[in-house]
Structure 1
Amino acid sequence: MSRLQPSEIAPPPGEYGPASAALRAKHRAMWALGDYPSVAATVIPQLGARLVEACGVERGTWVLDIGAGAGNAAIPAALAGASVVASDLTPELFEVGRVAAAAHGVTIEWQEADAQALPYADCEFDCAISSVGLMFAPFHQAAADELVRVVAADGIIGMANWTPQGFIGQMFATMKPFAPTPPPGAQPPPLWGDEEHVRELLGDRVHALNLVRERVIVDAFANGVEFREFFKANYGPTVAVYAAIAAEPERVAELDRALAELADAYDLGGGRMEWEYLLITARKSG
């Protein structure tokens, strides 16, 4: 996957800029496709809790979860005793989260919000986190600026992002030739899993920046075909790519083969895979 430097990417004004209603609607619709809560619960149920632990979230912490989905990180944060706002561009995901939060006996405030234009005051939160959520906002610098802006001085910033070299990064690289052309200036989500890119995005606005590559074990699929069929039915970006080529059966078959082969190549035996992510923690500079 080619690297794009933030300094070389200026989000364009107009229809497809970071404040664009058209782009927000497009991304909201994509994540409403399929069943992302099922994906998160099936594939990465432990990832949000790992992020919360790494950030040292505790009772009394005022937490914003950005790109919260159905609460994969928001619920563990609330279970740790934090007061939590779970924000996402796609509020269709919240109902599953509300049910899960109630089952765990915690209260969370769910709010529709664009990661590139958050409706919160400067320095409003003690901690802002995102578990494979904010990384999908197309204009990385705009999202990074908002992430830093809403956190108080010396507050905690934490993210878990898929890496370009890991399985999900390679899945997006596999789907790219079949996908519609992204908006001008948009950057690939897995760049948020590149250490240099993260340092450039956050700059000197943070200190105590810690970047660690970790792996999550995925054993939900017996083989590549089973993985492909699950993601083809449930994971919004994959559903969207297949929809874009639905009238081209040869390309559909080609993508079918490529995704199954990719998953099989990552199989360590018995349907067990390791998916790499970058765990980011930092404190906002005063």
Structure 2
Amino acid sequence: MTTQTADSDLKARHRSMWASGNYPHMVDTFLLPLGPRLVDACPIGAGTRVLDVAAGTGNASIPAAQRGAVVTASDLTPELLEAGGSRPEAARLDLTWVPADAEHLPFDDDSFDVVMSSIGVMFAPHHQAAADELVRACRPGGTIGLLSWTPEGMLGALFATMKPFAPAPPPGALPPVLWGSEEHLRGLFGGRVEFHTMTRDTLEITAFAEARDYGEHFKAHYGPTIAVRANADRNGRAAEFDAALDSFCDTWNVGAPGAARFEKEYLLAVGTHTEA
């Protein structure tokens, strides 16, 4: 199998994974605050040319367009873009939805004033290729804005919990949560982006009555969890996976019986593209 064929197969599996379950429902259940937080941190106003990479259902794209920006929302998974485009608040906004691979963006060099991604580009398997594309699409003096789950936070712990049940990652693929590491970001962007903001904060999740409802929600709606559990089931380890996920939920719950609460850490990183 050629490298190009292997990459095409990998991206096809990623599209299928993110189209499985119901990620738009997850956004509506507890992820909605994240997009506006990223938009607030970037210099976005009327006429700003914005590219949202791995935009999903437009959680950051829509609030950027509501500020009068000219927004292009791109994502590997067309089904997510279709869900975003059907949202009532997306109507009558200057917002274009474009299927695109974050590692091979179909846009000219220096095309955008702001290139951003909210818990999206972090899931591209080849981090350096994706970072290079973010920089290439952003004009010199423009802004790169990223919001990513951290390795030390709850999402990082979830992926660590699932890892023993997952198939081996493809060659060259790196863990998504590395994008939530300050050191990793500086390494990816080198001297090309001068980060003036690197702030860790948490998303508070109170949508579930009991702690283990969080895990059930992920098994029903979150593509990566659905894929890993299916692999566990093929290997006769579904019950073991379920027990590990229950234990994870119990550990990370900081709420009370009947009122579960989780705090999911993320890194907000915003900087200026310094290359002339």
TM-score category (smaller protein): over 0.9
- In structure 1, C-alpha distance between the alignment counterparts of 2:234 and 2:191, rounded to whole Å: 48
Show structure 2 runs of 5+ residues with no match: none
What percent identity do the matched residue pairs reach?
A: 50
**Contact 1:216 1:276 (8 Å CA) reproduced:** yes
**Residues 1:99 and 1:107: Cα distance change in structure 2 (over 3 Å):** farther
- 1:86 maps onto 2:73 in alignment: yes
Q: Could you say what secondary structure the match of 1:159 adopts?
A: strand
Q: Could you say what secondary structure the match of 2:144 adopts?
A: strand
Q: How does 1:167-206 map to 2 (within 5 A)?
A: 167-206=154-193
Aligned equivalent of 1:258: 244
- In structure 2, C-alpha distance between the alignment counterparts of 1:101 and 1:131, rounded to whole Å: 21
- In structure 2, C-alpha distance between the alignment counterparts of 1:49 and 1:233, rounded to whole Å: 26
Superposition RMSD on alpha carbons, in Å? 1.5
- In structure 2, C-alpha distance between the alignment counterparts of 1:23 and 1:266, rounded to whole Å: 32
Aligned equivalent of 2:95: 108
Aligned equivalent of 2:105: 118
Aligned equivalent of 2:268: 279
- In structure 2, C-alpha distance between the alignment counterparts of 1:267 and 1:68, rounded to whole Å: 28
**Residues 1:172 and 1:189: Cα distance change in structure 2 (over 3 Å):** same
- 1:40 maps onto 2:5 in alignment: no
**Contact 1:209 1:281 (8 Å CA) reproduced:** yes
- In structure 2, C-alpha distance between the alignment counterparts of 1:200 and 1:50, rounded to whole Å: 24
Show structure 1 runs of 5+ residues with no match: 1-11
**Which residue identity is paired with 1:207?**
E
- In structure 2, C-alpha distance between the alignment counterparts of 1:198 and 1:15, rounded to whole Å: 29
- In structure 1, C-alpha distance between the alignment counterparts of 2:171 and 2:25, rounded to whole Å: 31
- In structure 2, C-alpha distance between the alignment counterparts of 1:116 and 1:208, rounded to whole Å: 21
Runs of 4+ displaced beyond 6 Å = none
The Cα of 1:105 is off from its aligned counterpart by 4.3
**Contact 1:163 1:194 (8 Å CA) reproduced:** yes
- In structure 1, C-alpha distance between the alignment counterparts of 2:196 and 2:8, rounded to whole Å: 33
Aligned equivalent of 2:85: 98
- 1:57 maps onto 2:48 in alignment: no
The Cα of 1:101 is off from its aligned counterpart by 4.9
The Cα of 1:209 is off from its aligned counterpart by 3.6
**Which residue identity is paired with 1:262?**
F
Provide Cα deviations, 1:238-277, integer angstroms capped at 9, x if missing partner: 011111122344x211111111221221211131111000
**Contact 2:50 2:69 (8 Å CA) reproduced:** yes
**Which residue identity is paired with 2:115?**
A
> What is the TM-score of this pair, normalised by structure 2?
0.94
The Cα of 1:86 is off from its aligned counterpart by 0.4
- 1:74 maps onto 2:61 in alignment: yes
The Cα of 1:179 is off from its aligned counterpart by 0.6
Provide Cα deviations, 1:69-124, integer angstroms capped at 9, x if missing partner: 11111011111111100000000112221121546642410000000000001100
The Cα of 1:201 is off from its aligned counterpart by 0.3
> What is the TM-score of this pair, normalised by structure 1?
0.91
Aligned equivalent of 1:9: none
Aligned equivalent of 2:225: 238
The Cα of 1:27 is off from its aligned counterpart by 0.8
Partner residue of 1:143 out of 130, 136, 142 = 130
**Residues 1:103 and 1:124: Cα distance change in structure 2 (over 3 Å):** closer
**Which residue identity is paired with 1:253?**
A
**Which residue identity is paired with 2:205?**
V
Deviates most, 209-218 or 229-238: 209-218
**Contact 1:31 1:90 (8 Å CA) reproduced:** yes
Q: Could you say what secondary structure the match of 1:245 adopts?
A: helix
How many residue pairs align between the two structures? Answer: 271
**Residues 1:208 and 1:228: Cα distance change in structure 2 (over 3 Å):** closer
